[in-house]
Structure 1
Amino acid sequence: MLVCRDQWPIFLYANHIYDPEDPWCGLLRSRLLIYAYKHVFTSLSSVDREPKATQSGNAHLHGMNSVTIASMAYIATQVCRVQFALSSSSVFSQTNTTTNSKTFYHSLLDLMEDPEECKEVDELLTWWNWLIITYAAKFFPLPPAAKRPISANSALSKIQQRCIALK
């Protein structure tokens, strides 16, 4: 499992198939990434057909309403770290050549933020959002403009009141 800047693990690809003639084919569309995304941003039970969670997931708690480039790169990096943890390597380092998480994360971001790749990235984001919203009901439960209530006695409420008073 080599994770250098220009060599990515096969788990990033749908059905673990890398096509050297078309490297975008299946990139960031693996079932493992989809399950990991659901686990992190909703709940462990969201991978099942019928979620059983009784608490809000991270997507709800943080007001997420769509899949983002950064969230995909984050999940791919976390899966890479888990794969390392399950491997036979005895030392994990952010800077060694086989587990450089920071470089791996940024290499994915660099690709997806490259203006030359906008067509492929738009298709990828459209696919992810369609998949998540279609097959994981309530994955992103907050509408974009929704606001969460703030407790009257909270620190946030007091900061906002102070700001209003200063105006």
Structure 2
Amino acid sequence: MAIESSSDHDDAAAVVRAKRRIAALEQEVEVLRASNKRVKPQIDSNVHKGRAIRRLVSLFDGLEDLIAENDRREELLDSLDLPDQLVSTQDEDRTIRSFNELLRCLPWLKKKLSSDVDELDYILRDLRKGADSARGDDTANLKHVIVAWLTELFHPLDPPLHTNIKDDRGFIHHITGKLLCPVEYTWSLNLTKEKIRDRDPDFLVTAYSWPAMLYLDYTFDSGNIEKGLFRSALLLKAFKHIFTSPSSAKEVDGDGDGADAIVASQRRRSSESDMTTRSHLRFSLSNVNSWQSIDGDFDYYVFYNNIVDFFEVAPGIDAQARIKELLKWWNRKVFGKTRAIPLTPAQLGRFSVSRMTSQRAVHEGGSP
């Protein structure tokens, strides 16, 4: 009888281990193959990042225009003795603020602006592609869902609105017409409806009037035009649908009590998003079927800039304080009362835990 040596035993064990390892590797390969079949190709990262531009930076301005304005300013500042000597128009100031917001959203882009021109062209192309696709998606989505919101808020709609076409909206329908009507005019009067539909020179609908869709209960106080502005339930629904989730739009609990003057967010928080929402909301109520900046006498570009300037070019301390106060209201309405609220050191010092720590230090003979 042959006796198995320890060497033969070790070799056999090594072979068995190798077979187990091979079997495990083959199983891993099969798992990877199966998962690759299920996973869709990833969207290009720059295209994906570009989707934020039309929502958070600027609804209309081209990326090249923002960069060109920054380059122009840099060159002028290099030729001036003092930065205060720089003179610019309101449009130029608005553009540079959008450029600065672009860098806050995409901080890595600043370094790319100083890199190879060809590489930058590819980056801007992808960002632009993502930006424009986001705007198209937002307008298309609101086109359908807004009919359900109008039915909920103004039930019953007579005649009902179609979800797939917009030909029956705008000033043709009495509800969408009411929401689009400038607050200077009284939509409930038949004469007003006739004059607006006929584009009477005394009843033009332009971007220099606030439409009723932005107001609490869709009415305004001529003695205090800011009262209730940007507080409509429809606006809240549109904002939440785009920026939080479509289902969250169902959670809007009303327009508030009307005590605040206006509701808006400062840029870098939600204001740019909100401005974008208002433009998209008006477009979805209109009977225009494809996105364009001009709708009859109404210029969306002017409308958008008027809103930007309203929030970002506050005339004084009182207006700034109102915006800050209303920002709290807006955040509460959008994100709810359960969200975490950052505490300042001064606030923390008033609470019992911090006060106890100071008291204990005093009792031990130390400083608080």
Match for residue 79 of structure 1 among 274, 281, 284: 281
How many angstroms apart in 2 are the aligned matches of 1:24 and 1:79?
Answer: 19
Q: Unpaired runs of 5+ in structure 1?
A: 50-65, 144-167
Q: CA shift at 1:38, angstroms?
A: 0.8
Contact kept in structure 2, 1:4 and 1:103, CA below 8 Å: no
Larger Rg: 2
Partner of 1:133: 335
* Paired AA for residue 305 in structure 2: H
Q: CA shift at 1:98, angstroms?
A: 3.6
Q: CA shift at 1:40, angstroms?
A: 0.3
After superposition, residues 1-167 of structure 1 pair within 5 angstroms as: 1=180, 4-49=206-251, 67-84=269-286, 87=287, 93-116=292-315, 117-134=319-336
Change (3 A) 1:102 1:18: same
Q: Unpaired runs of 5+ in structure 2?
A: 1-179, 183-204, 252-267, 343-368
Contact kept in structure 1, 2:216 and 2:231, CA below 8 Å: yes
Q: CA shift at 1:103, angstroms?
A: 1.0
Bigger drift between 67-76 and 27-36 goes to 67-76
Change (3 A) 1:24 1:131: same
Change (3 A) 1:134 1:31: same
* Paired AA for residue 110 in structure 1: D
Contact kept in structure 2, 1:14 and 1:28, CA below 8 Å: yes
Contact kept in structure 2, 1:81 and 1:99, CA below 8 Å: no
Higher RCO (C-alpha under 8 Å, 6+ residues apart): 1
How many angstroms apart in 2 are the aligned matches of 1:67 and 1:14?
Answer: 22
Q: CA shift at 1:35, angstroms?
A: 0.4
How many angstroms apart in 1 are the aligned matches of 2:296 and 2:321?
Answer: 31
Contact kept in structure 1, 2:207 and 2:298, CA below 8 Å: no
* Paired AA for residue 94 in structure 1: S
Partner of 2:13: none
Change (3 A) 1:132 1:91: closer
Change (3 A) 1:74 1:92: closer
How many angstroms apart in 2 are the aligned matches of 1:78 and 1:38?
Answer: 13
Q: CA shift at 1:46, angstroms?
A: 1.2
Change (3 A) 1:93 1:41: closer
Change (3 A) 1:122 1:80: same
Higher helix share: 2
* Paired AA for residue 119 in structure 1: A
Q: CA shift at 1:47, angstroms?
A: 2.0
Change (3 A) 1:67 1:98: farther
Q: CA shift at 1:97, angstroms?
A: 4.8
Question: TM (normalized to structure 2)?
Answer: 0.30
The 3-state SS of whatever aligns with 2:294 is coil
Contact kept in structure 1, 2:237 and 2:250, CA below 8 Å: no
Bigger drift between 37-46 and 118-127 goes to 118-127
How many angstroms apart in 2 are the aligned matches of 1:69 and 1:92?
Answer: 22
Q: CA shift at 1:79, angstroms?
A: 0.2
